[in-house]
Structure 1
Amino acid sequence: METYKAQPRQQRRLKKSSPLKYLLWGAAGGSTIMLLALLGYFFYLLGALPKVDRLADYRPPILSQVFGQDGTLVGEFYLERRTVVPVDKMPKRLIQAFVAAEDSNFYQHKGIDYIGVMRAAFKNVISMRKKEGASTITQQVAKSMLLTPEKKFSRKLKEAILAKRMEERLTKDEILYIYLNQIYLGAGAYGVQLAAETYFGKEVDKLNLAEMAMLAGLPKAPNSYSPIKHLERAKERQGYVLERMVKEGYITQAEADYAKATPIVIQPLKKVNAEQSAYFLEQVRQQLVEKYGEERLYKDGLKIYTTMNAEMQKAAYDAVVNGLKAVDKRQGFRGAAKYLAEAEVDPFCKKVEDDIDDLSLKQGSVYQGVVTGVNPAKQELTVRVGERTGTVPRKGMDWAGRLELVNSYGKPTAKRAIGLGAVLELQVKEPDKNRTGAVFALDQVPEAQAALIAIDPTSGGVRAMVGGYDFKKSQFNRAMQAKRNPGSAFKPVIYAAALEHGMTTASIIDDSQVEYESGGDKAWKPKNYDNVYRGPVTMREALTNSINVVSVKILEQIGVGSAIDYAKKLGITSPLAANLTLALGSSSVTPIELTSAYAVFASGGYRTAPYFVTKVLDRDGNVLEEIQEPKVPVFTRMSSAAPDAAGEGDSAGDGEDGKPIELKQNKPVPVMSEATGGAVPAIPPETAFIMTNLMQSVVSSGTGSRARALGRPVAGKTGTTNDMKDAWFVGYVPQLVAGVWVGYDQERSLGSGGSGGQAAAPIWTEFMQRALAGVPVRSFPTPGNVTFALIDPRSGKLAREGTPGAVQECFVSGTEPTSYAAEPAEVAAPVQ
């Protein structure tokens, strides 16, 4: 039998290793390294993440509010416009609406909604685009409060880790408290409280279900779903939120249907008109930043109380705008701002529409519009303002004269022409209805500038200030910073100094031509504005008619140095020319300086340092600073013989109850040091009163006649510089002093109607008429040692009753004339 014989075992031959094997080993090693790196990065992130503990003391940036003299909100400073409210003030259904719309599993998950992540991923894959997100409310808080908004994997990982940590340390209500106060809801509003005010003019706890659902629909896209700009879209989103609330069991279908049918009334809380107060607020801002820093001002919710009177501030803004437009329109229509091609009209109008926050155009407001049609026969334009349409009738263009209307696109060749595509400034005369049918008037942005400042002469509190036509275009505050020649508005300073150097209202000065050596080849020959020379005149007549030559002669008599010293007593700090041209206002001063100087006359001789802020509180109500508005001593009786500007006698001054009151005080008494914004005696009350009386004549029968429209005792002075480069009017009543300047930043003539009486006085008068509405009419109180006497203005001596042309003049007791004017000489007999 054959048996199997095992073959001897052969030694295996070594084979070369396969490249795949090395590749696998390399991949395993690389994976290990990558895993270690990821673990290292993960632990690095854990160590580098911000602490969530600080969220337990949530103190977000909140807006600082600025209040006027009467507590009216007049401005805000903020990086994020937010007011924080506790959760217990938020309606339960408001919270449920946000939860249903943004994170339906909020009360079940621990920071990350894994089911929501899978659901969102599935929907995004099916739709082939990112259709739904999966961030929880907790994650949104983590991103908003602790991270940057960058779209990176690392940020999402950090967000998830922080969300888990937050859920461990904070309650659900604490997370909601942060979320609902932190979230941006459009129209500049952060948090539900500001959103409720912005859209519905309500406190958050006064919202109805329809309004709550509309707010809850905003986080997805605040601008796209804005109920102000896109009400229909907002209502669609509102319907989605209500259905989500039904699905989550928060409300019934009947409640949802009722809410959908509830009319949405967009009635924003009246916004602060920062535009009209911009220059005032900027002055306050600069002071507070210097004292407390930007961080505290913009984030710490300060309550800032100021001297501003809100109604006066609005009146000041309107008066400046109206006055500048009147000055500008007298120079004629300058043409369209630019011309658009037909294809450019729609994009331009869309941009304009995006900047309009209101459902309807506001009457009186000015917008940029485009001409889309012309009717030469009717002299009428069809225009678009954003997505709204309207017309400009002939009467709305009267000020521009007859214009050529061109029915084609492109800039017309004729200078006085308007064609299709013209971009014009349009003022709303009749607002649009359903975005059609608005009626406009042709407008024009003034090239000239103006400043107005109004001060309470008894305290120094600045009641209103406008530093230019448009703060957005120029932040240069001309009321505080522009140094311009005051012209004849400086003359009261010279005349007041003269009164204290022995001259009186009855002093006679010769109004005749004179010349002075000027140090060069030519002598200086001051000229009167009207080129008329009147011969001997009294000081009153010289100031009333603003006679230049007499003013120079008065300055020559008292000395330039004395006048400069006197100006300093009145609070003028700008350098003054040490020569006789000072009498004509050749040295530049700021409007606030000159107005403050006039306030010394209005206050009875006290200098008050202008100031803006009275009190500042921090977010917890602690007082950081406070100044009580001081008051200068008030004279409590008038001399029974005191004449008004027309020379008629006044009875006793009126008290608060309208009854005559008694004079008990004649001497100035310091109230507060000037360093604290108070008042200090500067000049004798007699001098202040006499200067007031002189300037009442300027209004009653001189260059300031426009101010007579106030129908109450008014004192003031106009000023016009050479070539009408600067126009001024500074004037006052016992309760308020205001100064107005008009001119171009780059000095040039204001042209026709550019004098102080024509350009500045109308602005002053419009402002004061509105500012003094409801303010009691008062006469200027007369110090007890001021006397009145009948004067012959031709000689400056006493006049007898019945003397033709005789006038009542006021004097410091003891300085009145003691001799009578000579009787008319009898006709002499012929010499034999």
Structure 2
Amino acid sequence: MEIYTGPQQGAHRRKKGSSTGKTVATVIAGILVLVLLAFAGYFFYLLGALPKVDRLADYRPPIVSQVYGEDGSLVGEFYLERRTVVAVDKIPRRLIQAFVSAEDSNFYQHKGIDYLGIARAVVKNVISLRKKEGASTITQQVAKSMLLTPEKKFSRKLKEAILAKRMEERLSKDEILYIYLNQIYLGAGAYGVELAAETYFGKEVDKLNLAEMAMLAGLPKAPNTYSPIKHLDKAKERQAYVLERMVKEGYVTQAEADHAKATPIEIHSLKKVNPEQSAYFLEQVRQQLEEKYGEERLYKDGLKIYTTMNAEMQKGAYEAVVNGLKAVDKRQGFRGPAKFLAETEVDGFCKKIEDSIDTVSMKQGATYPGVVTAIAEGKRELTVRVGDRTGTLSKKNMDWAGQVKLVSAFGNPGEKRAIALGSVLDVQVKEPDTNKQGAVFALDQAPEAQAALIAIDPMTGGVRAMVGGYDFKKSQFNRAMQAKRNPGSAFKPIIYAAAIDKGMTPATIIDDSPVEYESGGDRAWKPKNYDNIYRGPVTMREALTNSINIVSVKILESIGVNSAIEYAKKLGITSPLAANLTLALGSSSLTPMELTSAYAVFASGGYRMTPYFITKVVDREGQVLEEVQTPKVPVFAPVSSAAANPDGSGDQPAPAVPAAPAAPGMVPANAVPVISSDTAYIMTNLMESVVTSGTGGRARALGRPVAGKTGTTNDMKDAWFVGYVPQLVAGVWVGYDQERSLGAGGSGGQAAAPIWTEFMQRAVAGMPVKRFTVPSNVTFAQINPRTGHLAKDGEEGAMTECFVNGTEPTTYDGEAPTEGETPPAEDKSATLQ
């Protein structure tokens, strides 16, 4: 039998191979179907999870909450994104065309996705082997910015594409552009074209020229790289690209583009506010608003906040504090460079400084950290580099530092006050740089001492200016509101006012002689006068004028410590007070706000008002959320003894304080009569003598009636001056946060009074000169200041003194009171010992 198997075996192999191929194809097809099903499922999942496009129709982006001063000027801003929304019809068409040309030339043709642009970008990126060009349309950019997160994932790009298509179906091209041009970040903290125009060119967006429009349109690609403030050369390169794109798209002619390229660019920020000079005031406002309305509403809802701040006064307060602290600090001498850099460290240090300078040329008067890069020893002139700018520091502009050794080598020379190459110095700009060269610097030094200044309208309680320290960026601790420090002699007017209400007068004689008190231990307390001089019998006026400690202690002993404490509380002092005789010397810590508010009672004629900062808050729809209506009280309005003395003494009804309308959201006037207008005036009159003849003499520079008092604590750890004119009261404190002596020139009259005077000279410059109004119940008489009795006509040394009617002396030296007459306080009591 013949058997043949060859062909059958080959056929079997072919059949087997064919079966395997079909199996593989089936598996692949199955996998593809699964992938497609998975993708479809994922796609439909994304569709369901995507945010709604409809909400873009009511575009309400986070916008700036703006803070206004009492005159309506913009003084501050609160924001997460610094943006002002501008209507699309206010945006110039050429600016729109510039953005479209640079960012999405097919914007008016595509339906959300530019497929041609994607293909072009892919080709360019493949050729260059890196991502050289993106393909996101303006619509996609809006989708990403408004509805998605910025994560770089395929899922986000897919969502972006889907949303872009939906947006094109629901919104017009102009509506998309409106969102885009208001939403986009354009560098320097500016969101949207309106704020960018103000930030870079000092103009509103509809005032831009073609050159400026093209420069703005070049920013989205890389706002920091093409910033005209920091890199004008790169910004102009990008501007030229945008203009050529506009020519290609037919929006401008070549001649118009060439003219725009040749147009000089002037960088001039329309900086509406200076947050540096108002930082402490604005922070106080921010805290109050955030507590009441929450972060979301404050930072995103575009509130209009009207405050009591006077912008010019606030600027003057800030500059007075800075100048005064520098003067105090320079009296202590030059402390030497902040640090020494190796030659290899200079570029890195300067790069950080360069990034922080946001102006084309450095600001005149501003202080920057600079590095010494060259020393001309013969001229004693230094070359100083500040970021990418250079300038000179000559010998005459560092004279205050005294003899300083100069070392022409890098590294620490080992001497505290020596300056070497690589030294980091604070330098103040005397003359700004031109093209980043040629600045003239003066040696500066950041003060270590701190200061606080607060100014209050005594007729309303509105805070006009407040500075809580030298530099808010370095320390947010508000010393005006939070620092409790010993007021020293600045507390004495409160003791004297209590004594006036107890029957003493400016003519009361007190013996200024040494005294000692048991202090409960082995050693007695022996108060001393600041100058260690004891004058014998003096009037209250002379004692306050010359800030005599012994007399203040004896007055407090006479009226009683508890009585003085209650009186201080009546004036608005809330801090705990020492229940002993050291209170007369200001041994209890108070905030500058407390003490200044207490003085405001004297300035207002006896009214206490709670200081306030905010007058009105309005939301973005114009609805008034809150409003304060505080009518002014009359200066030295007649306040009866019944009003001034809650214990019921006196028989005259209290005057009616005008009340605010009882409308919803309005706060009534907070003016409470707490002392008589007579006492308020007499204290004012006494403190005028402090200025005209005593420790507050620097305040005479105002050239108008001024009342005030200095304060200096032991070892000159705290320096104070609180004073006022009829329209404004201000208090200044100077000291170190970690208590130590201010050193030579650290008294209240030398450290605090100059700051107060510089501020007040600017603050009252536009105010009419006014005298303090004399209440009808105050009378004047000629007295002998050595005895406190009446003086005869022509008597040597006689002076005019003021009294509450009925307390003036009635007898001359050596005379007994008239029979049946009640002698005045100084006649019926023995001289205080």
Q: Do Structure 1 and Structure 2 share a fold, with TM-score over 0.5?
A: yes
Which one-letter code corresponds to 1:821 in the other structure?
Answer: D
Partner of 2:208: 207
* Per-residue CA distance 1:716-765 (angstroms, 9 max, x = gap): 00001111111100000000000000011111111111111111001001
Conservation of the 8 A alpha-carbon contact between 2:628 and 2:667: no
- Secondary structure of 1:439's counterpart equals strand
2:135 equivalent in structure 1: 134
Which residue matches 1:322?
A: 323
Match of 1:170 in 2: 171
The 3 A distance-change label for structure 1 pair 675 and 173 is: closer
Query: 453-462 vs 745-754, which deviates more?
Result: 745-754
Within-5 A mapping of 1:793-812: 793-812=785-804
Counterpart secondary structure, 2:99: helix
Structure 2 counterpart of 1:710, from 698, 702, 705: 702
**Which residue is equivalent to 1:826?**
none
Partner of 2:658: 671
Partner of 1:761: 753
The amino acid that maps onto 1:822 is: G
Measure, in 2, the Cα distance between the counterparts of 1:802 and 1:209.
Answer: 82
How far 1:24 moved relative to its partner?
4.8
2:298 aligned partner:
297
Query: What CA distance in whole angstroms lies between the structure 1 residues aligned with 2:478 and 2:100?
Result: 49
Match of 1:660 in 2: none
Whether 1:786 and 2:778 are equivalent positions in the alignment is yes
2:596 corresponds in structure 1 to 595
| 1:20 CA drift (Å) | 6.9
Separation of aligned partners in 1, 2:456 and 2:321: 16
Three-state SS of the structure 2 residue aligned to 1:788 is strand
SS in 1 for 2:783: strand
Q: CA deviation at 1:25?
A: 4.5
Q: Does structure 1 retain, via aligned residues, the 8 Å contact 2:74–2:272? A: no
Q: 1:330 to 1:8 in 2, by over 3 A?
A: closer
Q: 3-state SS of the aligned residue for 2:808?
A: coil
Shift of 1:708: 0.8
* Aligned counterpart, 1:817: 809
Equivalent AA in structure 2 for residue 811 of structure 1: F
Q: What letter matches 1:515 in structure 2? A: E
CA contact (8 A) 2:717 2:741 kept: yes
* 1:28 Cα offset (Å): 3.5
Match of 1:659 in 2: none
* Aligned-residue identity in percent: 80
Alignment of 1:302-313 (within 5 A): 302-313=303-314
> What is the letter of the counterpart of residue 168 of structure 1?
E
Alignment of 1:439-450 (within 5 A): 439-450=440-451
- CA deviations on 1:478-533 (whole Å, 9 max, x unpaired) are 00000111000000000000000011111111111111111111111111111111
CA distance in 2, matches of 1:535, 1:721: 24
- Tell me the equivalent position of 2:506: 505
1:21-65 CA-to-partner distances (Å, cap 9, x unmatched) read 765544433333222222211111111110100000000000011
User: Which amino acid is the alignment partner of residue 771 of structure 1?
Assistant: A
Report the CA distance between 1:431 and its aligned residue.
Answer: 1.1
Q: Which amino acid aligns with 2:302?
A: G
Q: Structure 2 vs 1, CA of residues 529 and 119 (structure 1 numbering), >3 Å: closer, same or farther?
A: same
Amino acid aligned to 1:325 = K
Counterpart residue identity of residue 333, structure 2: G
CA 259–92 in structure 1, closer or farther in 2 if over 3 Å, else same: same
How big is each residue's C-alpha offset from its partner over 1:569-615, in whole Å with a ceiling of 9 and x where there is no partner? 11111111111111110111100000000000011111111000111
Contact 1:605/1:668 (<8 A) preserved: no
Q: Is the 8 A contact 1:718 1:730 kept in 2?
A: yes
SS of the equivalent of 1:491 reads helix
Residues of 2 paired with 1:33 and 1:354: CA distance?
Answer: 53
* Secondary structure, counterpart of 1:565 in structure 2: helix
1:351-397 alpha-carbon deviations (Å, 9 max, x no partner): 11111111111111000000011123322211111111111111111
1:248 and 2:218 matched: no
Q: 2: CA distance between counterparts of 1:497 and 1:88? A: 67
How do 1:177-196 residues align onto structure 2 when only pairs under 5 Å count? Answer: 177-196=178-197
8 Å contact from structure 1 (residues 672, 680) kept in 2: no
The one-letter code matched in structure 2 to 1:793 is P
> 1:675 and 1:515, CA in 2 relative to 1: closer, same or farther beyond 3 A?
farther
Maintained 8 Å contact 1:508/1:537: yes
* Residues 46-101 of structure 1 deviation map (CA, whole Å, 9 limit, x = unaligned): 11110100000000000011111111111111111111111111111111111111
Instruction: Give the distance between the partners of 1:787 and 1:6, measured in 2 at CA.
Output: 150
Cα 1:198–1:666 change in 2 (3 A) is farther
Equivalent of 1:730, from 713, 716, 722?
A: 722
Does 1:384 pair with 2:376? no
Distance 2:128 2:6 in 1: 70
Q: Deviations over 1:182-228 (max 9, x none)?
A: 01111111111111111111111111212111111111111111112
SS in 2 for 1:465: strand
2:657 aligned partner, one-letter code: P
Within-5 A mapping of 1:275-286: 275-286=276-287
Distance of 1:76 and 1:130 partners within structure 2: 39
Contact 2:354–2:387 (CA<8 Å) still a contact in 1? yes
1:62 paired to 2:63: yes
- CA–CA distance in structure 2, aligned partners of residues 808 and 23 of structure 1: 119
AA aligned opposite 2:543: A
Q: How much does 1:266 deviate? A: 1.7
Give, in angstroms, the shift of residue 822 of structure 1: 3.1
Deviation at 1:559, TM superposition (A): 0.6
Question: 1:13: Cα distance to partner?
Answer: 6.4
Aligned residue type for 1:761: A
Q: Which residue of 2 aligns with 1:217?
A: 218
Letter of the aligned partner of 1:479 in structure 2? Answer: A
CA distance in 2, matches of 1:34, 1:746: 70
Distance 2:756 2:726 in 1: 16
Q: CA deviation at 1:6?
A: 12
Question: 8 Å contact 1:666–1:784 — kept in the other structure?
Answer: no
Q: Distance in 1 between matches of 2:223 and 2:102?
A: 14
How far off is 1:628 after superposition?
Answer: 2.4
Amino acid in the other structure paired with 2:701 = A
- Secondary structure of the 2:443 match is strand
In the alignment, is the contact (CA less than 8 A) between 1:668 and 1:685 conserved in 2? Answer: no
Give secondary structure in 1 for the equivalent of 2:734. Answer: strand
- Cα deviation, residue 459, structure 1: 0.4
Aligned to 2:457: 456
Question: Using the alignment, how far apart are the partners of 1:551 and 1:762 within structure 2?
Answer: 25
Q: Distance in 2 between matches of 1:493 and 1:666?
A: 25
Query: Partner amino acid for 1:415?
Result: K
Cα distance in 1 between the residues matched to 2:585 and 2:4: 138
For 1:522 and 1:9, locate their aligned partners in 2 and report how far apart those are by CA, in whole Å.
131
Question: Secondary structure of 1:502's partner?
Answer: coil
Alpha-carbon spacing, 1:675–1:744, altered in 2? closer, same or farther (3 Å) = farther
CA contact (8 A) 2:512 2:551 kept: yes
State the match for 1:618 in structure 2. Answer: 619
Check conservation: 1:611, 1:677, Cα contact below 8 A. Answer: no
2: distance between equivalents of 1:20 and 1:74? 79
One-letter identity of the residue aligned with 2:486: N
Deviation per CA, 1:550-578, whole angstroms, max 9, x where unpaired? 10110011011110110011111111111
- Does 2:369 correspond to 1:368? yes
Tell me if the contact between 2:658 and 2:669 (Cα under 8 Å) persists in the aligned partners. Answer: no
Distance 1:566 1:46 in 2: 72
Once residues 672 and 330 of structure 1 are traced to their aligned partners in structure 2, the CA distance between those partners, rounded to angstroms, is 51
DSSP-derived class of the 2:481 partner: helix
Q: Distance in 2 between matches of 1:154 and 1:415?
A: 61
Q: Is the 8 A contact 2:603 2:635 kept in 1?
A: no
> Structure 1 residues 803, 115: closer, same or farther in 2, change over 3 A?
same
Distance in structure 2 (CA, Å) of the matches to 1:555 and 1:703: 21
What residue in structure 2 maps to residue 43 of structure 1? Answer: 44
User: Whole-Å Cα distance in 2 between the matches of residues 377 and 556 of structure 1?
Assistant: 66
Structure 1 position 415, deviation (Å): 2.4
> Shift of residue 16 of structure 1?
7.1
Where in structure 2 are the equivalents of 1:625-644 lying within 5 Å?
625-634=626-635
**TM-score, scaled relative to structure 1:** 0.93
After superposition, the C-alpha distances for 1:327-358 in whole angstroms (9 at most, x for unaligned) are 11111111111111001111111211111111
Which amino acid in structure 2 is aligned with residue 678 of structure 1? N
Letter in 2 for 1:530: D
Contact 1:667 1:685 in 2 (8 A): no
Where 1:185 maps in the other structure, the secondary structure is coil
